[in-house]
Amino acid sequence: MTIPFIKYSKIWLTIGAITVLLCLVALIGWRLKPGIDFTGGSLLDVSFATNRPDSALVEKIFSQAGFKDTMIQKSGDNEMIIRTNFLSEEQHQAILKKIRSQFGTNGNVVSEKSFETIGASVSRQLRQRAIWAIIAVSLGIILYMAYAFRKVSRPVASWKFGTVAVLAMIHDVILVLGVFAALGHFTGVEVDIAFVVALLTVLGYSVNDTIVVFDRVRENLQTRRADDFSTMVNNGLNETLMRSINTTLTVLIPLGALYFIGGPTVHYFALALFIGMASGAYSSIFIASPLLVLAERYKRRAV
């Protein structure tokens, strides 16, 4: 049985365009919420044995100490993650002592689970390196695609294979960014260095899945020259479909387990990977391949 993927190209591309548009609106309107890695400051994670106090009461302690822009996020059943301006070790210990004296009564033991501090200059450097890393990876992928398909010239030029793969990759990245912009706006989820690592992984996986399909199309171009180009692309999709499904599932299953069972430090890292890799499998079939056929049809009409 041959599934007619290309027959419904307009539907798949319309869905992809709407998805990208919605994610761009979310990204521009809400923006990503940068974590301490990119803004600088201090992050304090404390837990309360029996009774977690109201966030406003804890915020008041920081306000009295001169820290006005403190953000408090509840985590789990008894934890609080507190982000504030840069705290020296002396200030850190003084505030921790005050929290314990005010709320650590009647067996409500206050425990410090973690404390980290990043200076403004370090966070600025991390932000710049993250941007350059994404740009460098994207350029490397484009160059590789141009080289890998250098012998393909008809009916679609080799550079178009690379361009289409990059467009599909952009679709996947924008989807991840849009989802995290919405999560940041509604639930306070922040992005950090781990999020950048997830994006870089999604970049590579997205193109990898697309290359598998395009490589089969390239083989079909050499052995089935009499076939219509859209037919060859559709055959390539069907021939690689089970491989794509199996590969994607073997990645998504452990990522799903990591998301639900893993600790809070890897929770959103796993979510970013899950969304990006699921989208990468989708885009290689429903975005990249229809775009390649569209490019060939446009060239044929222009001649």
What pLDDT, on the 0 to 100 scale, is given for residue 175? 95
What pLDDT, on the 0 to 100 scale, is given for residue 227? 64
Residue 6, pLDDT > 90, answer: no
The Cα–Cα gap between 270 and 275 comes to 9
Residue 122, pLDDT > 60, answer: no
> Could you tell me the pTM of the whole model?
0.79
Dihedral of alpha carbons 136, 138, 141, 146, sign:
negative
The Cα–Cα gap between 187 and 231 comes to 46
Report CA dihedral (80, 81, 82, 88) to the nearest 10 degrees.
110
The candidate with the shortest Cα–Cα distance to 230, out of 3, 8, 6, is 6
What pLDDT, on the 0 to 100 scale, is given for residue 271? 94
The Cα–Cα gap between 44 and 255 comes to 27
Structural domains in the chain, sorted by start: 6-36+122-302 (1.20.1640.10), 41-118 (3.30.70.3400)
For 76-99, what is the mean pLDDT? Answer: 86
3-class secondary structure, 77: coil
Burial-class residue 298 by CB neighbours within 10 Å (0-12, 13-18, 19+). Answer: exposed
What pLDDT, on the 0 to 100 scale, is given for residue 226? 52
For 238-250, what is the mean pLDDT? Answer: 88
User: 73: alpha, beta or left, given left = phi > 0 and alpha = psi -120 to 50?
Assistant: beta
Specify the range with the lowest mean pLDDT, choosing from 110-114, 166-170, 221-225.
221-225
Residue 303, pLDDT > 70, answer: no
**More confident position, 38 or 197:** 197
Residue 151, pLDDT > 80, answer: no
The Cα–Cα gap between 142 and 159 comes to 9
Question: Do residues 61 and 101 make contact, with C-beta atoms less than 8 angstroms apart?
Answer: no
